[in-house]
Structure formats: C-alpha cells, structure tokens
C-alpha cells in the first residue's frame, strides 16, 4: 500500500516573480486557499497518509499552514467564530501527517526526491510536483488510479498528457509504442527530459505525478547531472526502465500549471466558478465583463 508522498517545494519560483520574492509560490492563493493545499488534498484523496515536503529555509509558511496555530485558534474561539475555527483546524483529516526535510542545495528535482530517502525507507511512494494542479471530476482521481495500477502490476507509473509538439522541450517526454487510452497505462520504451523540438519520441509529456518503487533512490544516487545541469528524476526513471517495466499512465483530469502566470489565472477561473460559496457570484462577475 502506498502511503507516502514526496512534494518537492524547495524551488525558488522564478517563473512567479515578483510575488515569489517574499512568499513561496506554493502559498499563492487559488481562490481562497494556497495552491499547495489542492495538491496535498489530491494526495490524500488517493489514500496518501504521510506528506513529505522537501523544502527550503525561505518556505516555513508552507509548514506553518499545515500546523496548528494556537494563538489564532484561541482568538477565534474567544470570539465564538466557530465556523472559521473549524475551517482552519480541519484543513487535513487527523490521520494525515506532514513532515519536512530540507534540500540544502538546488541540484534538481532528482536530488530533491533523494533528500527524502531516509523517510521513504523501503516503501514505494508517490511524487507530486506542486506547480501543477490536477482537477478530476471523480472522487477516484488519477493519482488513485495510478496507485491502484502500481499495486496490481508493481510497475512504476508516470502520469502523462499530450502537449502540442512545439512545447515538448519544456517537459519530460515518454516513448511508447502505442498511446494509452485516457485512464490506462502502457509500458514505456524510454523517457527523456526536455528534448529539443523535432527530436521528441512522442508528444506525451510528464505531468508531475509519479508512483515509484523505493529502488529509484539507489538509482538517483548514481544519476549524473543531466538537462539544465541538474540531477533529473527523469534520468533515474530512464535507468529504472532499463531494469524493469515502467508504465506511462495517461491522465483523465485537467491540468493547471500554476508555476506560470497564465496557468495560474486559468486555475483561479476554473476553481472559482466551482467554489461552493463563491461560484455563482463569480460566474456572474465573469459574465458582466462581456469581453
């Protein structure tokens, strides 16, 4: 059973400057809650019980958000603001623990995942990159389906979606003989980090959701620097794929790249119109704009 998820949150968020100069990009709000909460809840909905943040000294507000805040709770209680009190104390179910390890140097995503090695031990685990929000219509989300598939096949699962050909150089790209149907997995032939346009093996891009066996940590230890002069998770997955089957899982949901400003605005629109309390009024506002 997969109960642990690594969320690498040490990145400085240069794509989200100037906001990320003084607040972690993961704490920028999508409607009324920080982007990171959506990602943590996606993991929890898939059955994850331990969230491992791989973080940086400048990002303590992420840990604070998932911790109790005694002063605030006492103030709300004294003022009898019980609805708000409930809201801030029930962000995550009680059985979920959030722990953190530091990434002491910005050596890449593969290095960030490796920083959680001792917390992972011998268990398989999930990785969720917090820039990307994944929105699913079903309660059984894409990550839950990947975990289920991993438990059946014992093969690592890499979530992918099709991207336009001219954007392949921004992503990890998988090589598959046949494109899997949405919601299905297929064994991959290879995976490459940010290929130049025209050289990519497909247009199926790595979304930022992975289910990986513990042995990926040993492979990461011997992974040399790759694209961008960083230790790439993609390269360790390519090494794993030479040892055993690794599967590409084609997602069903919708992605929002909150690491980019336009992706972030799109996320605010989509999550805003579906917000249980604000949605109707927000939709009306959008209609009033008559652009």
Contacts with ligand G1P by CB under 6 A lie at 109, 129, 131-132, 171-172, 193, 205-208, 232-234
DSSP category for residue 196: P
The residues, ordered by sequence, that sit 6+ positions from 18 with a Cβ below 8 Å of its Cβ are none
Q: Pick the closer one to ligand G1P by CB: 62 or 76.
A: 62
- Extract the tokens encoding 27: 């704490």
Q: Pick the closer one to ligand G1P by CB: 34 or 172.
A: 172
C-alpha to C-alpha distance for 218 and 222, rounded to whole angstroms: 7
- Give the nearest distance from C-beta 260 to ligand G1P in angstroms: 10
- Give the nearest distance from C-beta 91 to ligand G1P in angstroms: 25
Q: Pick the closer one to ligand G1P by CB: 76 or 174.
A: 174
SS3 content of the chain, % helix, strand, coil (to 5): 40, 20, 35
Residue, CB closest to ligand G1P: 172
C-alpha to C-alpha distance for 291 and 280, rounded to whole angstroms: 19
- Give the nearest distance from C-beta 205 to ligand G1P in angstroms: 5
Give the phi and the psi of residue 209 in degrees, each rounded to 5. -135, 125
- Give the nearest distance from C-beta 117 to ligand G1P in angstroms: 18
- Give the nearest distance from C-beta 280 to ligand G1P in angstroms: 32
* Residue among 126, 117, 156 nearest 44 (CA): 126
C-alpha to C-alpha distance for 129 and 27, rounded to whole angstroms: 14
Q: Pick the closer one to ligand G1P by CB: 76 or 114.
A: 114
Q: Pick the closer one to ligand G1P by CB: 270 or 275.
A: 270
């Amino acid at each position: 059973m997969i109960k642990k998820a690594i969320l690498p949150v040490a990145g400085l968020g240069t794509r989200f400057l100037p906001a990320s100069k003084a607040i972690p990009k993961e704490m920028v709000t999508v409607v009324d809650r920080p982007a990171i909460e959506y990602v943590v809840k996606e993991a929890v909905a898939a059955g994850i019980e331990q969230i491992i943040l791989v973080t940086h000294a400048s990002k303590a507000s992420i840990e604070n958000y998932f911790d109790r805040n005694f002063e605030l709770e006492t103030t709300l209680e004294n003022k009898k603001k019980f609805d708000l009190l409930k809201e801030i104390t029930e962000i995550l179910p009680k059985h979920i623990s959030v722990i953190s390890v530091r990434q002491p140097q910005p050596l890449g995503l593969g290095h960030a995942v490796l920083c959680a090695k001792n917390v992972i031990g011998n268990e398989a685990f999930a990785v969720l990159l917090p820039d990307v929000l994944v929105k699913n219509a079903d309660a059984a989300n894409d990550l839950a389906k990947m975990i289920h598939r991993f438990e059946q096949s014992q093969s690592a699962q890499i979530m992918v979606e099709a991207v336009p050909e001219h954007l392949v150089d921004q992503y990890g790209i998988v090589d598959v003989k046949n494109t899997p149907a949405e919601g299905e997995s297929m064994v991959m032939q290879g995976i490459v980090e940010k290929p130049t346009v025209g050289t990519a093996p497909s247009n199926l891009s790595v979304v930022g959701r992975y289910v990986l066996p513990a042995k990926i940590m040993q492979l990461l230890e011997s992974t040399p620097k790759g694209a961008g002069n960083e230790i790439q998770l993609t390269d360790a997955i390519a090494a794993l794929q030479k040892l055993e089957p690794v599967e590409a899982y084609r997602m069903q949901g919708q992605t929002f790249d909150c690491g980019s400003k336009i992706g972030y605005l799109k996320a605010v629109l989509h999550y805003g119109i579906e917000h249980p309390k604000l949605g109707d009024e927000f939709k009306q506002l959008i209609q009033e704009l008559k652009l």
